Amino acid sequence: MTSPLLELKHIGKTYPAPDAGGLQVLKDITLQVNAGETIAIVGPSGSGKSTLLNIMGTLDVPSTGSLTLDGQSLITLTHAEKAVIRNEKIGLVFQMHHLLKQCNALENVLVPTLVNRHSDGARHRARALLEQVGLATRLNHRPGQLSVGEQLRVAVARALINRPCLLLADEPTGSLDRSGADRLADLLLMMNKQEAMTLIVVTHSRSLAKRMDRVYELIDGQLV
Amino acid sequence: MTFFRLSFRSAVFYRRAHGMVLAGAMLAGAVLVGAMLVGDSVKFSLMNSALLRLGRIQCALESRGRFFEEDLAIRLEQETGTQVVPALLLRGIALNQKKTGDEPRQINAIQIVGIDDRFWRFAIDQGPTLADDGVAINEKLAAELQVKRGDLLSIRFSKPSLMSKDAPLSSRGGEDTLRGTFSVTDIIPDARLGRFSLAANQRIPNTAFVSLKWLQQAAGLTQQANVLLAGGGTSQSAESLNQAIRKVWRIEDVGLAIKTLEGGRLFQLESNRIFMDPAIGAVVSDFEKSVGALTYLVNSISRVDGTPVRETPYSFVIALAPSSDPALGAVPPEMADDEIIVNRWLADCLAAGCGDSIRLSYFEFTPWNSFVEKSRTFKIRRIIEMGDMTGERERGPHFPGLTDAGKCAEWDIGMPLLKDKVGDPANEAYWNDYRATPKAMVTLKAGQAMWANHFGNLTAIRFRANEDGAEGITEALRPRMDPADFGLAFLPTRETALKAAGEAMDFGQLFLGMSLFLIVASLMLTGLLFAFGIQQRSQETGLLLAVGYRTHQVRRLFIHESTLIAVAGSLAGAWLGTLYTRAMIWGLQHGWQGAVAHAEIRYHASWMTIGTGILLSFVFAWGTLILTIRRQTGKSAHELLSGEEASATTQQVSPLSWRGLGWIPRFAWIAGIMAALGLIAYATVNGMQNIAPVFFASGSLLLISFLGLGRELLIHLGRNCGPLTILTLGFRNAGRRRSRSLTVTALLACGCFLILAVSSMQEDIAGGASRRDSGTGGFALFGESTLPIQENLNSAEGRRKFRLDQIPELNSVRIVCMKVRDGDDASCLNLNRAQTPPLIGVDPNEFEKRGAFQPIDERVWAPLMAASVHGDTVPGLVGDSNTAQWGLQKKVGQEQGDTLTFRDEWGGTFKVKLLGTLPMRLSVFQGAILIPASSFSAHYPSENGYRMFLIDTPPGDERRIQDALSLKLGKWGVNLTSTVERLKTFYEVESTYMAMFLVLGGLGMLLGSAGMAVVVLRNIQERRDELALLTAIGYSDQQVRRIVVAEHGVLLSLGLAAGITASLAAIWPSLQAPGITPHWLSMILFIGGLALLQLLWILFATRVALSSSLLPSLRNQ
């Protein structure tokens, strides 16, 4: 039996609050995700979906429990080590996509590769990714010259540039209309197949969630 | 809710952000008000100093070198009802008579004031009654001499002479100086006229008050005075006092007397100065039955065609105006100017008869106070028997040292006499029988052509007796003469003193100029902080616009808030400003004393200045905030609400760029640089002296052009700066907020430019000092004597008299001697505006032949070669260019040169045209005007002897020669100093200004660099999510920091590069001047330190801003 790509064991997250106990957002979450799987996490607003995704992406640390990626524990890593993991193994897509305004589409995709000094190969790959996401003609356009959907696609290409084994997307379709959301879902799944990477999506969208291999709902801090 | 209430609530709610803005506005206000109050304080202190030195004196009559009857004061008092007090004011030397072993201390150049009890009427209370053996000294002299009450003190002064010691026949014998020993009976504090001085200068003189009677007796000036002081409760104007003088004066007051001769048949007007002022001759020229006479001692009288040659040495000859009245003189109206009447003794001596030619050899007295032998031939018209000459013997003038000598060999006069001739037996016999009876008579016209000099052209005026006798002549003379022509004229001393203090250098402006950078930096910081505050509230602004507010209404809200801040800032700033002033005054009393020439400065603030300061600081702060508001509130509601602002790389595309004319600004910047370089090259090639305009013009042009190019560079960086790397990612960010980036860059560049330029102007005074074209003239030593030295110290006689010939080292020493007429020092050491600067009488040939003070191929001294320009106007050269520009604030030049008016010895005025200046910023003559010695002597014949010296010494011997000369000339109160030291004394003021500027500019730089930190913090805060993303996608903290540092490093490099390049280029012409040797090491250290400081600010701000994890900003979204 192959070991899971991502494993969460008894993850809990409590935020300090005025009352003595604090605000417990996540309770004892255990989850195993295999390589190449697609997973959707749904739940009402404030249920802790993004917190869970941030913990998976090492952007946040759990109060309790353990987290391993590809057999490596992420809890005990330093900030620098986590940064390396995020750069090499994890791709992140944010709802607000956060493109650098001073860079064009191609350059935005290349930004993660700067961490380890990108090669010519990275430039080719960035072009290819942008072609794959349908932006072959918009390589030199800056964020201000792209639509929201196009910006999101640039963000997806950026997330994939370093061939991560895990792609985490937080409400990727939140700012898109239905057709746009469908196209983005197609794109993510296509990438999942082509790049053989694991995809975890936090979303409110039932239609997007249905297209994933597994769907979890986060209720009262627990995955159901 | 009202508009104002909303603004007020916003102001309160954002109080923390506004607090920082308020601090910036306060700082700017404090520096502004503080600088203005420094000006107030200096002016107040100078006024105070002027009032302290004058007490209740309103007007003063000072007839330097001339003396008048002291009871003129009583007559004036009776006439005007004003308190008028006589005094005798002399220069002297004070010597501390230590009881045991200690070295005696000598203080040169003190003022000795002979006074009686009346003097203290002008003080706040009655001072000491001075006995003949008592002296009261001021606190300064007591401190410098280290004496206290009861100690013994010696005072030495030059023996005044009614007849100038420079005059051709004046006596040079006897003691030149007199000395008195006194017991110190009182030490006069400043508040009780201890600072008494009639010179408009804040420097306190060393003063010894002695009994008027004692000083008069010691000086041989019984009942004489040379100063009248008027004032007190019922004081009158100088003009009304002068009118009163015209009513009460007597001819005896000015040393004139009517002598009754020949049993009352003849009266003769004589002067106790022997030679009579030319004005007197002019007055009596229309008198009937009067003739002028001029008696002179000729070197020899010889027969022209006789064989063997017969001659008689050293004979008196009288020149008389022709008159048909034999009682007035033997020269008849028909006598020609080439005819001569001789007495029988002379005719016999020369074996000459009527019609024979005889030659008179005589010394012509030159304007340079030297004698040149000349001769003139006359034909004998008549021979007078000796019995008919007795009257002339009686009428001859009394020359001290000459007419009272027992025999010719004992004559003691200034004129050089040949020993072998002066003892001629025949002449001795004549002297024994006939004394000073003239041997010959010529016409007055011929006599004046030979012997008239700047001391006068008559020795007597004869009047035929009339019914009214001597009194009648006096009464006839008096109305025709103006006492002002004899120096009897009051001047409005207090008014002049207050004017001099009022027109003194404006330290308020000076400090404002020096603090300008600090003020600009504060305002810039204020603007930046306020802009950030507004940017932080962009969503609030967007909301207001979204709900229907119009842009100007939103602006109004912010304007209300900014007004509150500006009002509070300027009010609090004014209070802080008073502290700033006190700090500056503390600096002026401690480290920066040089800037105020060690004057005592006291804090003073006028409400008017504070009010003006508050208003100005409010306007500046408010203006800055309004500008910021205008820039920050021009965005749409959508932009503001979405938090999106167009990237700088796409925003603000200039209309020129749209039209494809984006090259125009670049061309303009490059043209600006080329123009500046052209200007610099022109100044360098032509060796321009006054490079200040070039410096500022080229410097400003370069700075603006470099910053313009910097802006273009930022635009370029924002668009494309090569392959994407971590560094270039940072560079691109630098181009995003161009205004913000350029503000910081410009401030850095300007600060760097100013400080580098100022520090590079530090002059090495000693460097090049031995060059003739430097401010030392190539002379090693500069000397000033308290008591005039009559002899030329280069002459054998002079060296013998002062025993300089006893020291072999002094044989090779050459001394240039100069005459001095004291005045208001116009150097940078006098804070008051000089009204009448000192005049120095120089022989321009002495300097020209040495090439002193003049660049090669220039004839700086040529203007002084002529004795006058345009009639009676005297040519003048200003001591150096700083004196012309700052001390006098006058133009110089052949055409456009200003003209200064001076009062001559007779009370009349004459003009000095400033034809030029010595061509260096600093020279040993700073603060004075140089005029030809001939003009000097013509206007101030009583200023006898030399009081200023420039000394050439063999290289390396300066110290020994200084010591040797000080020893030999110490009795005359000669202060010798190296010329370099003298220049350094002047330069101390300038260097202190520079030090002050560097400190204040440095503070500005510190504040400006804090601006960089604010910008870094703000940039990071603004782009926190962007940086968080970088962190999220795997950038390490170090890499994120590197991006931030690279971004701001670009601004730092740009600012430094612009500032350094502009300053180095602009100062290039001045680097060519002699003595300018910039301290490169300190400049490099400064630049390094500045870069390091900025870098530290960037690192510090980056560390602070990135100290908390960036990731929560992503999570929060």
Least Cα distance to B517 among B831, B693, B757 occurs for B757
B1052-1091 burial, b for 16+ CB within 10 Å, e for fewer?
Answer: bbbbbbbbbbbbbbbbbbbeebbbbebeeeebeebbeebb
CA distance A205 to chain B (A): 18
| Minimum Cα–Cα distance from B1040: chain A residue | A115
- What pLDDT, on a 0 to 100 scale, did the predictor assign at position B647? 40
From chain B, the residues in CB contact with A202 under 8 A are none
pLDDT at B696 over 70: yes
Q: Is the ipTM of this structure higher than 0.85?
A: no
Judge whether B277 and B906 are in contact, CB under 8 Å.
yes
CA–chain centroid gap for B422, Å, is 49
For residue B164, give the nearest of B271, B320, B251, B86 by alpha carbon.
B271
Helix (H) or strand (E) holding B523: helix B507-536
Q: Best interface-test mutation with A: which of B651, B719, B724, B725 has the largest number of A CBs within 10 A?
A: B724
- Count the alpha carbons within 13 Å of B95 in the hemisphere toward its beta carbon: 17
How large a percentage of chain A has pLDDT more than 70? 96
Residues of B in contact with A87 (CB under 8 A): 1033-1035
CA distance A132 to B690: 71
3-class DSSP assignment, residue B94: strand
Is B353 exposed, middle or buried, given 0-12, 13-18 or 19+ CB atoms closer than 10 A? exposed
Burial status of residue B313 (CB atoms within 10 A of its CB: 0-12, 13-18, 19 or more): buried
Would the CB atoms of B1029 and A94 count as touching at under 8 Å?
A: yes
Strands of B23-101, DSSP E: 57-62, 68-69, 83-96
Which pLDDT band, with edges at 50, 70 and 90, does B972 fall under? confident
Assess A117–B contact: CB distance below 8 Å, yes or no. Answer: yes
Q: Quick check: B930 and B865 in contact, CB under 8 A?
A: no
Closest by Cα among B1026, B1004, B986, B1025 to B1093: B1004
A194: closest CA of chain B, how far (Å): 21
The mean pLDDT value for A121-140 works out to: 89
CB contact under 8 A, A101 and B647: yes
> Chain A: residue nearest B1029 by CA?
A98
Task: Say if residue B538's pLDDT is above 80.
Answer: no
Whether B652 has a pLDDT exceeding 50, the answer reads no
**Helix and strand counts by DSSP (H, E) for chain B:** 34, 28
The structure tokens listed for A187 are 């794109």
Amino acid symbol at B538: S
Q: Kindly report, residue by residue over B631-640, the tens digit of the pLDDT.
A: 777 776 656 6
Chain B residues within 8 A of A157 when measuring between CB atoms: none
User: What letter would DSSP give residue B763?
Assistant: B
d(CA A85, CA A77): 9
Nearest to B221 by CA among B265, B168, B159, B282: B159
Binary contact (B724, A83; C-beta < 8 A): no
Look-up of token digits 């494809």:
B660
pLDDT band, residue B711 (cuts 50/70/90): confident
> Which pLDDT does position B383 carry in this prediction?
94
Burial class (CB in 10 A: 0-12, 13-18, 19+), B145: buried
Residue of B nearest to A167 (CA): B1033
CA distance B848 to B842: 11
Is the model's pLDDT at B174 over the cut of 70?
A: no
Q: Is B1111 on the interface with A (CB under 8 A)?
A: yes
Report how far apart the first and last C-alpha atoms of chain B are (Å, whole number). 33
What's the confidence (pLDDT) of residue B691?
64
**Which residue of chain A comes nearest to B1111, CA vs CA?**
A59
- Highest mean predicted confidence (pLDDT) among B63-72, B997-1006, B1073-1082: B63-72
A78 near B CB under 8 A: no
Q: Contact A111/B1025, CB-based, under 8 Å?
A: no
CB B257 within 8 A of CB B101: no
Comparing CB atoms, the residue among A51, A92, A115 nearest residue B1039 is A115
> B1032 vs A59: CB contact, 8 Å cut-off?
yes
User: Is the minimum CB–CB distance between A211 and chain B shorter than 8 Å?
Assistant: no
- How many residue pairs from chains A and B have C-beta atoms closer than 8 A? 98
Distance CA A70, CA A214 (A): 19
The whole-angstrom separation of Cα B8 and Cα B21 is: 16
Optimal mutation site among A98, A100, A102, interface B, most CBs of chain B within 10 A: A102
Residue B720 confidence (pLDDT) above 70: no
Interatomic CA distance for residues B483 and B489, integer angstroms: 7
- Rounded CA separation B532/B394 (Å): 101
Q: Which of B557-561, B853-857, B925-929, B973-977 is the most confident on average? A: B925-929
Q: Which position has the higher pLDDT, B722 or A127?
A: A127
* Residue type present at position B823: G
**CA B919/CA B921 separation, integer angstroms:** 7
Q: Residue A36 and residue A180: Cα distance in Å, rounded?
A: 24
Q: Decide if B1034 and A115 are in contact by the 8 Å CB cutoff.
A: yes
d(CA B1068, CA B760) in angstroms, rounded, equals 10
User: Which of B648, B650, B726 faces A114 most closely, judged by CB atoms?
Assistant: B726
Q: pLDDT band at B646, cuts 50/70/90? A: very low
Find the CB nearest B736 among A80, A102, A117.
A102
Q: Cα B630 vs. chain centroid, distance in angstroms?
A: 49
Interval B214-240: pLDDT, tens: 999 998 888 999 999 998 766 678 899
How would residue A8 be classed by pLDDT, with cut points 50, 70 and 90?
Answer: very high
| B132 pLDDT more than 50 | yes
Secondary structure E strands in B918-1003: 929-932, 946-952, 974-978
Answer whether B1035 sits within 8 Å of A115, measured CB to CB.
yes
Contact B754, B958 (CB under 8 A): no
B1015 in Cβ contact with B528 (< 8 Å): yes
Cα dist from B980 to A75, B483, B856, B931, whole Å:
76, 45, 21, 23
Could you tell me the pTM of the whole model? 0.70
Closest CA to B324 of B357, B289, B352, B299: B289
* Alpha helix segments (H runs only) across B590-662: 607-632, 637-642, 655-658
Q: What is the mean pLDDT of residues B873-882?
A: 91
Residue of B nearest to A46 (CA): B1116
The share of chain B scoring above pLDDT 70, in percent, equals 90
B696-725 residues touching A, CB cutoff 8 A: 718, 724-725
B1035 chain-A contacts, CB cut-off 8 A: 83, 87, 114-115
Q: What is the pLDDT of residues B3-59, one digit of tens each?
A: 676 777 778 888 877 888 888 888 889 988 998 998 889 889 888 888 889 999 999
pLDDT digits (tens, 9 = 90+) for A39-67: 999 988 888 888 898 899 888 889 999 99
User: Cβ distance B437 to B389 under 8 Å?
Assistant: yes
Q: Which residue has the tokens 């120096």?
A: B487
Question: Measured between alpha carbons, how far apart are the two ends of chain A, in Å?
Answer: 25
Tell me which residue in A51, A79, A112 faces B1033 most closely, judged by beta carbons: A112
Question: Looking at the complex, does the CB of residue A16 fall below 8 Å from at least one CB of chain B?
Answer: no
Q: Identify the pLDDT of residue B517.
A: 77
Q: How far is CA B170 from the centre of its chain?
A: 35
Q: Does B726 touch chain A (CB under 8 A)?
A: yes
Contact list, B727 vs chain A (CB under 8 Å): none
Q: How far apart are CA B382 and CA B93, in angstroms?
A: 56
Tell me which chain A residues have a C-beta less than 8 angstroms from the C-beta of B648.
102
Mean pLDDT of chain B: 84
Quick one: average pLDDT of B602-625? 91
Strand-pairing partners, residue B842, are B932
CA distance B803 to A214: 120
Using the Cβ of A115 and the Cβ atoms of chain B, whether some distance falls under 8 Å is answered with: yes
> Are the Cβ atoms of B1034 and A86 closer than 8 angstroms?
yes
CB-CB under 8 Å, B1114 with A94: yes
Number of H helices, E strands in chain A: 7, 10
Distance CA B162, CA B720 (A): 90
pLDDT band (50, 70, 90) for residue B338? very high
Model confidence at B650: pLDDT above 50: no
Report whether B35 contacts B512 (CB < 8 A). Answer: yes
How close B1092 comes to chain A (CA, Å)?
27
Q: Which residues contact B545 (CB under 8 A, 6 or more apart)?
A: B551, B554, B636, B637, B640
pLDDT score recorded for residue B649: 40
Taking 50 as the threshold, does the pLDDT of residue B738 lie above it?
yes
pLDDT digits (tens, 9 = 90+) for B493-525: 999 888 888 887 788 887 887 787 788 888 888
Name, in order, each residue with C-beta under 8 angstroms of A147's C-beta and a sequence gap of 6 or more.
none
Average pLDDT over residues B237-259: 90
What does each C-alpha distance from B893 to B42, B871, B915 come to in angstroms? 33, 17, 4
- For residues B101 and A181, the model is more confident at A181
Note the pLDDT tens digit of each residue in B449-490: 998 877 788 999 998 877 777 788 888 888 888 888 888 889
Model confidence at A172: pLDDT above 50: yes
State how far the Cα of A55 lies from the Cα of A35, in Å rounded to an integer.
18
Q: Read off the DSSP letter of residue B561.
A: H
B152 forms beta bridges with B183
Which of A102, A117, A159 lies nearest to residue B649, judging by beta carbons? Answer: A102
**Beta carbons within 8 Å of B983's beta carbon, 6+ residues apart:** B765, B769, B775, B776, B922, B923, B924
d(CA B880, CA B864): 15
- CB–CB of B951/B814 below 8 Å? yes
Quote the CA–CA distance of A122 and B236 in Å, as a whole number. Answer: 98
Q: Residue B648's pLDDT is what? A: 40
Q: Which band of pLDDT confidence, cut at 50, 70 and 90, is reported for residue B710?
A: confident
Look at residue B446 and tell me whether its pLDDT is greater than 80: yes
Each residue's pLDDT tens digit, B402-442: 777 888 888 877 777 887 888 888 888 999 899 889 999 99
Q: At what angle do helices B1037-1071 and B726-734 cross, to 10 degrees?
A: 60
